[in-house]
Chains A and B, each alone.
Chain A
Amino acid sequence: GENVEQHPSTLSVQEGDSAVIKCTYSDSASNYFPWYKQELGKRPQLIIDIRSNVGEKKDQRIAVTLNKTAKHFSLHITETQPEDSAVYFCAAFAGSARQLTFGSGTQLTVLP
């Protein structure tokens, strides 16, 4: 089945700096890659997603890149703010398996 690895597990940045979280996946049939943000005690919320026919997608301060050949995708957050502090999960969806496989999460802390 699909295996998603996520790095780093913890990340601390100064307010205003950029943050990058990286994920790799194993199933070449995976074709959809969402990113979720989970604040303490709250539900995971979709922040951005990318499909396998696209290499990059941006939404204001957030961007995701996908390298299908290398089977890895990354989340980039620019001009970080304290409210960006949360756990971020990447995920990969393989249509053949019909399930979303999640990475282990990254605890992002933005220091004021």
Chain B
Amino acid sequence: KAGVTQTPRYLIKTRGQQVTLSCSPISGHRSVSWYQQTPGQGLQFLFEYFSETQRNKGNFPGRFSGRQFSNSRSEMNVSTLELGDSALYLCASSQGTGGPEGTQYFGPGTRLLVL
């Protein structure tokens, strides 16, 4: 099976702009989780989608949002970009909830640089 894919791989934006990142999960996986990875904060959970519904959300401002489509592909959007949003954004897919019911497999990430 093909692995998790993310597009684009790299992005450069300026403060105040918005950005949309895309994630295609492993075929048959219905859960997609998003994480922000930075050197200072490590891997932080953003949100999780399952069957087009957001089931859980991490401690991030409302500028971070997402959605999931009927084919399980997911997008996340960040509006009004700030310098501190520069990070590697990773998505991970799993068959179920992401716990014992389904191990999470990560995509290669989208590296976002905000200038």
User: Does B100 sit within 8 A of A, measured CB to CB?
Assistant: yes
Question: Are A99 and B98 also in contact (CB < 8 A) when A34-B104, A43-B90, A44-B90 are?
Answer: yes
On B, residues with C-beta under 8 Å from A are 4, 33, 35, 42-45, 48, 55-56, 58, 90, 97-100, 103-109
Residue of A nearest to B107 (CB): A43
Do B106 and A98 touch (CB < 8 A)?
Answer: no
| Dominant secondary structure at the A interface | strand
A90–B104 CA distance with the chains assembled, in angstroms: 13
Q: How far is the CB of B63 from chain A (nearest CB, A)?
A: 20
User: Does A100 sit within 8 A of B, measured CB to CB?
Assistant: yes
Do A99 and B108 touch (CB < 8 A)?
Answer: no
Q: How far is the CB of B60 from chain A (nearest CB, A)?
A: 12
A97–B48 CA distance with the chains assembled, in angstroms: 11
13 contacting pairs across A/B (C-beta < 8 A): A31-B100, A43-B90, A46-B103, A49-B103, A95-B97, A95-B100, A98-B48, A99-B58, A99-B98, A100-B104, A102-B42, A104-B42, A105-B43
